[in-house]
Amino acid sequence: MNETQAMQGNMPLSMNHGAHEVLDVHEVLSAAIGAMNTFIFLRPHVQDPELLNILDRQYAFMLDEYNITAECFKTGQDPSHPTRSYKMQMGNDSKYGLTQGQPKKPMQSANEMNDGIISGFLLSCHKTGASGKTMAALEATNPVVRRVLQDSVPNCIEMAYELSLWQNKQGLYQIPQLSPQDMQTMLNMYGQAEKAKDMPN
């Protein structure tokens, strides 16, 4: 074993990160701060009690997840508790179909702020978090940081889904469907795969 390998083998756990990982996790933590700041900034403008409840529960969860991510990133060791799973409080029912409404366009004044616009900002925070954490986990060399990042991606997805369900319930997020014939054609387009002859079991 040469001297460089010995130095790496004796490296403190807090230094057990590759450069790409450090830069990616820096982006994840910065985005998390930005997301929480967005939640704080928008909270006084929320009108709907259900949306306010979602915002408050998600903020508390995001704050805890940020802290354990920062903790394991700094120490290279297990955080004070494992990544928790976010549990939304609404059902999974979605309304399908389209109804004609006003065309969407950017605001012309801050006075136009409403719950639909606020929920869009919150949803964007989770989309950014999900993609950033996924990319960072793919590059992470520290196994603890990798696990915390990958375990937190489903939470971003669940929180985004909760907000999209709220939007759907309000008629803000519509879900188009294919015709029954096209739907059936698409569903039947794929068959079960069989093992290729030359591939091992």
Structural domains of the chain, count: 1
Please list, in sequence order, all residues whose beta carbon lies within 8 angstroms of the beta carbon of residue 89, skipping any fewer than 6 positions away.
53, 54, 57, 162
At 3, give phi and psi (nearest 5°): -65, -35
Within a domain: 190: no
In angstroms, the CA 37 to CA 29 distance is 12
Q: How much is the pLDDT for 69?
A: 96
Instruction: Please indicate, yes or no, if residue 69 is contained in any of the structural domains.
Output: yes
151 part of a folded domain: yes
Both tokens of 146, joined, read: 């990798």
Q: What stretch of H or E contains 183? A: helix 180-187
In a domain, 104, yes or no: no
Q: Is residue 109 one of the residues assigned to a domain?
A: no
- Find where tokens 């997301």 sit: 35
Residue 5 has pLDDT above 50, yes or no: no
CATH number at residue 62: 1.20.1260
pLDDT tens digits for range 90-135: 888 889 988 888 888 898 999 999 999 999 999 999 999 999 999 9
| pLDDT over 90, % of the chain | 72
Provide the token pair at 127.
Answer: 């989309």
Q: Looking at this protein, which amino acid is placed at residue 66?
A: Y
Please report whether residue 68 resides in a domain. yes
- What's the CA gap between 168 and 187, in Å, rounded? 24
Averaged pLDDT score across all residues of the chain: 90
- Is residue 198 in a domain? no
Structure tokens, 27: 């982006």
Whether 73 is in a domain gets the answer yes
User: What is the domain range of residue 62?
Assistant: 17-89+114-172
